Amino acid sequence: MQYEKRELIAEGKTKRVWATQNDRLVIVEFKDDALNYHGKKHVFFHGKGALSNQINAYLQKLLEENGILTHFKCKYSDTESVMHLAEMIPVEVVVRNYTAGTMCQRLGLPERMRLKAPVLEFCYKSDELGDPVINEYHAYAMGLCTREELANMCYTVSRINKVLVDTMKKIGIVVADFKVEFGRINGRLVVADELTPTVSRMWNAETLSKFDTDGTNPALDYEIVLQRLTDLLGKDYGTVKS
């Protein structure tokens, strides 16, 4: 099916969202320029949008096949996917399996320590404030979501974590941490936004570090993750014709 790209609805750090002839569907375009949520720094390289789009298609499809609702419909072009339009909830849920980054800074923990159990953190989605860490009481008091929705989000991210960890283990990749955003479609919670190396730490299982160890080739992490997922799942996984 052909989708007509109409007006630009929104543009964020990693993507542009375009209206289509169907008011319930949007075209999401992945950009080469992005702000990495871990380091809060710009990461740019040619082809990043295409790599992110394909990785996201694989992982969103994988979640759907495991009974986890998402807003993903299909990969549409090299850099674009069609998504169901969702009302976004301004809460990011961060899942941590290993210590890294700000968690180490805040708690004085060593880097790359495997946690005894996954840790869930919540952040208020606000670029102006730097996505500050909040707790469930903030979320309720600020009217960001209901208690039932937050409980649903916690349950869902725990399921996502198991799917990602089990899948990536097969291809020699450790999922150290990742963030998930949610939206509402007809009152139902769905996983929204992206699942890519831009919003996660996916490490070499042998070294517990990035594949781009010296920081000179940021494309390498994306390329290795994509190639290994392609070998595992197949070239056309996540690409739907209608």
Rounded to 5°, the CA angle 147-152-157 comes to 130
Give tens-digit pLDDT for 77-117: 999 999 999 999 999 999 999 999 999 999 999 999 999 99
The pLDDT assigned to 118 comes to: 98
The pLDDT assigned to 179 comes to: 97
**Residue 58 within any structural domain of the chain:** yes
- Scanning the structure block, which residue is given the tokens 């992206």? 194
**Residue 2 within any structural domain of the chain:** no
Do 92 and 55 lie in one domain? The reply is no
Could you please report the per-residue DSSP string of 64-91? Answer: HHTT--BSEEEE-SSSEEEEE--EEEEE
**Residue 123 within any structural domain of the chain:** yes
Confidence class for position 34, pLDDT limits 50, 70, 90: low
Confidence class for position 42, pLDDT limits 50, 70, 90: low
Do 49 and 149 lie in one domain? The reply is no
Do 12 and 40 lie in one domain? The reply is yes
**Single residue among 84, 111, 129 that ends a domain in this structure:** 84
Do 189 and 77 lie in one domain? The reply is no
**Residue 95 within any structural domain of the chain:** yes
**Residue 233 within any structural domain of the chain:** no
Residues paired with residue 184 on neighbouring β-strands, in sequence order: 87, 189
The pLDDT assigned to 71 comes to: 97
Which residue type does 141 have? A
Do 141 and 190 lie in one domain? The reply is yes
Confidence class for position 242, pLDDT limits 50, 70, 90: very low
Do 116 and 154 lie in one domain? The reply is yes
CA 138 to the chain's CA centroid: 23
In angstroms, the CA 204 to CA 119 distance is: 21
Domain enclosing residue 52, as ranges: 8-84
Do 155 and 100 lie in one domain? The reply is yes
Q: Tokens at residue 62, please? A: 């994988």
Rounded average pLDDT over 122-140: 95
Give tens-digit pLDDT for 175-209: 999 999 999 999 999 999 999 999 999 999 999 99
In the predicted structure, residue 35 carries a pLDDT above the cut 70: no
**Residue 74 within any structural domain of the chain:** yes
Neighbours of 85 (CB within 10 A): 18
213 neighbors 157 (Cβ within 8 angstroms):
no
Rounded average pLDDT over 155-160: 98
Do 58 and 172 lie in one domain? The reply is no
In angstroms, the CA 86 to CA 76 distance is: 18
Do 80 and 43 lie in one domain? The reply is yes
Question: Could you tell me the CATH number of the domain that includes residue 102?
Answer: 3.30.470.20
The pLDDT assigned to 240 comes to: 57
Which residue type does 84 have? H
The pLDDT assigned to 36 comes to: 55
Residues paired with residue 36 on neighbouring β-strands, in sequence order: 41
pLDDT top residue among 130 and 89: 89
**Residue 234 within any structural domain of the chain:** no
Do 94 and 80 lie in one domain? The reply is no
pLDDT top residue among 38 and 65: 65
Do 28 and 72 lie in one domain? The reply is yes
153 neighbors 93 (Cβ within 8 angstroms):
yes
Rounded average pLDDT over 138-157: 97
Question: Could you tell me the CATH number of the domain that includes residue 12?
Answer: 3.30.200.20
**Residue 229 within any structural domain of the chain:** no
Q: Tokens at residue 55, please? A: 């990785």
In the predicted structure, residue 41 carries a pLDDT above the cut 90: no
Among 38-47, 121-130, 146-155, 179-188, the least confident range: 38-47
Do 92 and 80 lie in one domain? The reply is no
**How many structural domains comprise the chain?**
2
Q: Is the pTM of this model over 0.85?
A: yes
